[in-house]
Amino acid sequence: MKVSISINGENVSRDVEPRQLLVHYIRETPGLTGTHWGCDTSNCGACVVLMDGKPVKSCTILAVMSEGHEIATVESLEVDGELDPIQAGFHEQHALHCGFCTPGMMMTARALLDENPDPTDHEIRTAISGGICRCTGYKNIVAAVRWAADHQAAAKQEA
């Protein structure tokens, strides 16, 4: 069946099996392999993308269910060579080692700051609690999101 989905502002169309998961559609159709596929059982959070601005685990959603929705992947964060504050925060605070969890963590964090621009550390930890990171111990991820929140607020004040 033909499935058309808006991904990062571009309409993508392809014939797929009705059972195809959104994570595979994203990785195979436009070739956006920044969205990682880890557990396939809704546990790891590596596959998180935004659907209409809300974080979702794309291994729990069929591609066909995404028709008519706006999907944003980690590739949408950088615009015209400019890093999103979340990406800059991960860089500044050394919030990744192997990087496998990173796309999901970043998209989760982006959604958090869109909804709550000044979260507490507890709110950050709660937001990312659906993702598993085997490397960092989470401390630096929390620091990266805090960094992004602070720099985002400062940039808005300057504008």
Interface with ligand FES (CB under 6 A): 37-40, 42-47, 57, 59, 96-102, 133-136
What DSSP string runs through the chain? -EEEEEETTEEEEEE--TT-BHHHHHHHSS--TTS----SSS-S-TTEEEETTEEEETTSSBGGGGTTSEEE-GGGS-BTTBPPHHHHHHHHTT--SS-SSHHHHHHHHHHHHHH-SS--HHHHHHHGGGS--SSS-SHHHHHHHHHHHHHHHHHHHH-
- In the bound state with ligand FES, the residue whose beta carbon lies nearer, of 12 and 59, is 59
- In the bound state with ligand FES, the residue whose beta carbon lies nearer, of 53 and 139, is 139
Q: How far is the CB of 93 from ligand FES (least distance, A)?
A: 12
- In the bound state with ligand FES, the residue whose beta carbon lies nearer, of 50 and 96, is 96
Q: How far is the CB of 154 from ligand FES (least distance, A)?
A: 27
Q: How far is the CB of 157 from ligand FES (least distance, A)?
A: 32
- In the bound state with ligand FES, the residue whose beta carbon lies nearer, of 31 and 117, is 31
Q: How far is the CB of 35 from ligand FES (least distance, A)?
A: 9
